Chain A
Amino acid sequence: MSTIRLTMVHTKYNLLETARVPIAIIGGLVFPALSLMFFVVPQRAVANDPVFATQAVISLAVFALLVNSLFGFGLNISEAREKPWDPYLRTLPAPGICRVLAQVFSTGALGLVSILPVIVIGALFTEASAPAWRVIVGMVALAIAALPFMFLGICIGYSMPSKAAIAVVQVVMFALAFGGGLFLPPFLFADWLNTLSQFLPSRHAREFVIWAVQGGDLEPWVWIGILFWTIASLALALFLFRRDEGRRYR
């Protein structure tokens, strides 16, 4: 019980700390909504088509989670490694799991908040639609497909200082967003780009959530890709985490 209470306390102050530098949230909250407004809503060919519009909304929801995971984990971890506040928190009578879960919850909460405007704008200004239960299934699929983003954020956080992390997070974010068909739908891609795209976790997440919301066939490369990226990025994150423990104490 007290572990849950302390996890909530840590989550609250994590969020409070993030909220004090609003620019940090703007990237995560406003950017996906703005992208939908500028890229999708004016293109009536897409916006007026229920299937394409829904796919565009899903793409930008995936993008929202991608941004939040990379920034939330990548930047926070690399900054925490540079500051002695985290070691101090470890001297308080709270189990370590509280701090880890708090990081997941606060990033998750911001991710959820950043999806809402995308869904609202999608529902109001485009023909995107889905039954309520499909939306919920889509959310669950989104949470699963976002695991590699989270682990990649952790990898970035543990492998470089925060100034480098800012740049790398942005490059990775845009590469995955464009390459994964989150901004432009993959049917507009050249063949070579489409092939490349099928190896990216952002493309897997997009196809997986579209399948969860709209139904249809799930290509094997999608779920194999998600499985591969989850395991590979988790393994790398654990490796970097362990290596960091040794380095920090030198």
Chain B
Amino acid sequence: MTTLAALDHVTRRYGDVLAVDDVSLEIEAGTILGLLGPNGAGKTTVISLIQGLRRPTSGTVTLFGGNPADARNRQSLGSTPQETALPTTLRVGEVIDFVGAHFADRVPTPQLATEFGLESMLRRQTGSLSGGQKRRLNVALAFVGHPKLVLLDEPTTGLDVDARHTLWNALRSQHERGATVVVTSHYLEEIEALAQRVVVMGEGRILADDTLRGVLDQVGLRWVRLESADLAGIGALPGVVRVEPGSGSSATLFVRDSDAFVTALVRSGIAFRHLAVRGATLEEAFLTLTAGADAAVTEAV
């Protein structure tokens, strides 16, 4: 496998803030890599280091074997601007032509527009586009130069379900044509739909780097709340990752498999009341991961 981009013991500080803390990561050709983590985990900083927008405080970043700060090494890199970034007075077709002019081998504007469903709005100024249309244009811009590596930072944040699925389909078909894609997200759902390999970041560090299945097993936790006089006994049941004591006799638990947990709880004969179960949010799963409360998780870190 060819390595397209690599971070080697990279640390990046912003003043006192440690945004990326000794991260090593290789991005190999052919995959869709999901970069998952809560806000402030360092995902965007990792992306901007690979783009050459920022330099590491220590460590090295390589892009196609060279320094990403050198424009020539970015010829096969595709990136997206943020939604609010588009110059509002330029037309859609002009923005595509402008970005396309930077690449030796570019997709013709009409073809790119068809692939991303923009053909009816090429003459419109970008300021008149809806949020979903802007996102599609932004993502399309990443693919105008036949890139080998595409970096997408939160490509569907704020989109409705339909628009999100349209964009995911376009991404998948681009990937089938040979583009390696790195996509950051704080939605587990998005990573599940797209990624093959998943890197989980938290507080500037890589917490897990595994296949989608492997990471889902780690972060796909269930949230359980109940009241009981014997919380210690419940905490000792199999599959309980973390117990957060609440007020009085109530507690919040994070468990791997809520069905197995409830079965085990009933069988244990411990009295309980007000049982509630839901999927843990990613934020909660990350807290559990960073707390390192579980042996398996600690190993992956």
- Asked if residues B79 and A88 are in contact (CB atoms below 8 Å), the reply is yes
Report chain A residues within 8 Å CB of B87.
13, 17, 85
Report chain B residues within 8 Å CB of A96.
71
- Asked if residues A93 and B101 are in contact (CB atoms below 8 Å), the reply is no
- Asked if residues B94 and A83 are in contact (CB atoms below 8 Å), the reply is no
Interface residue tally for chain B (C-beta within 8 Å): 32
- Asked if residues B89 and A20 are in contact (CB atoms below 8 Å), the reply is yes
Report chain B residues within 8 Å CB of A90.
51-53
Name the interface residues of B254-278: CB closer than 8 Å to any CB of A. Answer: none
A84 on interface, CB distance cutoff 8 Å: yes
A137 on interface, CB distance cutoff 8 Å: no
- Asked if residues A93 and B94 are in contact (CB atoms below 8 Å), the reply is no
Given contacts A17-B87, A17-B89, A85-B87, contact A91 B51 (CB under 8 A): yes
Report chain B residues within 8 Å CB of A83.
84-85
Contact with B along A15-40 (1 / 0, CB 8 A): 01100110000000000000000000
- Asked if residues B53 and A91 are in contact (CB atoms below 8 Å), the reply is yes
Contact with B along A65-91 (1 / 0, CB 8 A): 000000000000000000111011011
Report chain A residues within 8 Å CB of B125.
20
Name the interface residues of A189-234: CB closer than 8 Å to any CB of B. Answer: none
Whose C-beta in chain B lies nearest to the C-beta of A3?
B71
Whose C-beta in chain A lies nearest to the C-beta of B47?
A91
- Asked if residues A249 and B54 are in contact (CB atoms below 8 Å), the reply is yes
A160 on interface, CB distance cutoff 8 Å: no
Roughly how many angstroms separate A55 CA and B145 CA in the complex, as a whole number?
Answer: 53
A9 on interface, CB distance cutoff 8 Å: yes
Given contacts A9-B98, A84-B84, A88-B85, contact A93 B90 (CB under 8 A): no
Report chain A residues within 8 Å CB of B52.
90-91
Report chain A residues within 8 Å CB of B163.
none
Contact with A along B35-62 (1 / 0, CB 8 A): 0000000000000100111100000000
Report chain B residues within 8 Å CB of A94.
71, 102
Q: List chain A positions with a Cβ less than 8 A from chain B.
A: 6, 9, 13, 16-17, 20-21, 83-85, 87-88, 90-96, 246, 249-250
